[in-house]
Amino acid sequence: MDTASAVLAHEPLIRLVLFAAGFAVIAACEVLVPRRTPTMARSLRWFGNLGIAALSSVVVRLAFPLAAVGMAGFAAANGWGMLNHFDVPPWLAGPLAVIALDFVIWLQHVIVHAVPVLWRLHRVHHADLDFDLTTGLRFHPIEIALSMLIKFAAIVVLGPPVVAVLVFEVLLNATSMFSHANIRLPAALDRVLRWIVVTPEMHRVHHSVEDDETNSNFGFNLPWWDRLFGTYRDQPRAGHAAMTIGIHSHRDPQEVARLPGMLMLPFRGDVEGYAINRREWRGEHATTR
């Protein structure tokens, strides 16, 4: 059995083991060196956040049995995609694929902030009243399904190696937890790390209730896209300890912390604009929807 076949055969187990290990390490760091004092009971938030994450995983596996890794194997078998068409050697195709797929996810993240109907789904992620590793797992099942369709399209166009897609999926999952972690990093270490990976200090700004801060630092994994496209912001206005996390108009724990409320959140209220170009602070009366 070659490497690609082995990856396809054991992909769910590989991802589960690496996820569990990453979750345990980051959760332990949150206990040992927390950055912010939680505003809600961890048990309430974690039950809801992990519940919606588990539900999303089940929905995706039922709707897309092949998952992204399986689609990469199918594309390779049929010679689909630029990397397969031009016969790019694996040592180059792998890193190119991981970087390209990360850019696709960054662009997707910008789009869900820019399109009102997609923001309705994505605000489930932003409505968390605290910020820790489970926030990085908290997405509405419909958004996760749409994200998988975007990955499928990117894989068909790109033609990435199967192993590269597995690496990307594992990295995305791990860095999403890390970038949302409630951990205190030494300032000097954070300054270095945020050139190569999105750190919690960098991404926490994106979860501010203020419009101009929310519309910055969209990356989960690689930090380069925000710097290149002008959406990078170094620090939150109020400081990390004092900044308010979440969405101004969604502060009820019943709505934003419990699973039924999270599942129904996209379908509440009118469809309203959420301008991606809100880059100016509008003061204490800002109204992020």
Q: What is the pLDDT of residues 28-40, one digit of tens each?
A: 999 999 999 999 9
The pLDDT mean for the chain works out to: 92
Q: How confident is the model at residue 11 (pLDDT cuts 50, 70, 90)?
A: confident
Q: Please state, in angstroms and rounded to a whole number, the distance separating the CA atoms of residues 19 and 112.
A: 25
CA distance 145 to 222: 22
> In the chain, what is the straight-line distance between the N-terminal and C-terminal CA atoms, in Å?
51
Query: What is the maximum span of the chain, computed from C-alpha positions, in angstroms?
Result: 61
Question: CB 219: neighbour CB atoms within 10 A?
Answer: 25
What's the pLDDT score for residue 285?
Answer: 47
List C-alpha distances in Å: 12 to 59, 151, 197: 14, 17, 25
Cβ-Cβ contacts under 8 Å for 11 (sequence gap 6 or more): 67, 69, 70, 166
Report yes or no on whether pTM surpasses 0.85. yes
Cβ atoms 143, 55 nearer than 8 A: no
Distance CA(224)–CA(42), nearest Å, equals 32
Question: What whole-number distance in Å separates Cα of residue 33 and Cα of residue 35?
Answer: 7
Res. 287 pLDDT band, cuts 50 70 90? very low
- The 10s digit of each residue's pLDDT in 149-185 is 999 999 999 999 999 999 999 999 999 999 999 999 9
156 SS3 class: helix
Please answer whether residues 121 and 142 qualify as being in contact, where contact means their C-beta atoms are separated by less than 8 angstroms: yes
